[in-house]
Copies of this chain bind each other. A is one copy, B any other.
């Protein structure tokens, strides 16, 4: 979803191919593991045919292909601050917290361990966003990523993690959800997700 938001912000005309997270079959009938053996999404196939994986790399690639969209700082320290936030979101939030909480096969002890560590990270992020509209001075691909990750909190029992405990984060997510690129991506991914659930149920 983060790449989808960034591509919409850039005004790009991408072809999306869905990967079923369970079967790893692609929407056009291929075995995704033959494309990327770990089976992780997203992967981006460039116009010259090369494969790029990992959110931070794909997001910065999209920003660089469409500089007029201003999705990443053009230079100076700000470009490293963007990398700092992409890295923070990828390691501390996405991998360190949400992947474990969203994984039905994760043992309860692994979930509690992730929550105990993750709360301080959310607190730190809430402090940063308390008086800011975006992570940097303006909307960037880091916001596309953060909106995606924070949105997953809706699928997590509030007893485990309740985003409302950090009003700055809940407010940020609500603002981001109003943004046309985010609203569109959310709606499209929601339809894909419900179709996937129906497919698995009937299988």
Query: A residues engaging B (CB < 8 A)?
Result: 37-38, 46, 48, 50, 52-58, 60-61, 64, 77, 80-81, 83-84, 86-88, 90-92, 94-96, 99-100, 106-110, 112-114, 120-121, 124, 127
Contacts and interface: CB of A to CB of B under 8 A. Distances in A.
A99 to B, nearest CB: 8
A46 B77 contact: yes
A80 B56 CA distance: 9
A135 to B, nearest CB: 13
Contact of A87 (B50, B90, B124, B127): B90
A109 B107 CA distance: 7
Interface core residue of A46, A57, A106, A121 (most chain B CB under 10 Å): A57
13 contacts: A38-B120, A52-B81, A52-B84, A53-B84, A56-B86, A57-B80, A83-B83, A87-B87, A87-B90, A96-B96, A96-B99, A107-B112, A109-B110
A61 to B, nearest CB: 5
Contact of A110 (B81, B91, B110, B121): B110
A55 B87 CA distance: 8
Contact of A52 (B77, B110, B114): B77
Contacts of A55: 87
Contact of A38 (B48, B64, B77, B121): B121
Nearest to A59: B83
A14 B91 CA distance: 26
A72 to B, nearest CB: 12
Contacts of A84: 52-54, 56-57
Contacts of A106: 113
Given A37-B127, A46-B77, A53-B84, 13 more contacts: A37-B124, A52-B80, A53-B88, A54-B84, A54-B87, A54-B88, A55-B87, A58-B80, A61-B80, A83-B83, A95-B95, A95-B96, A110-B110
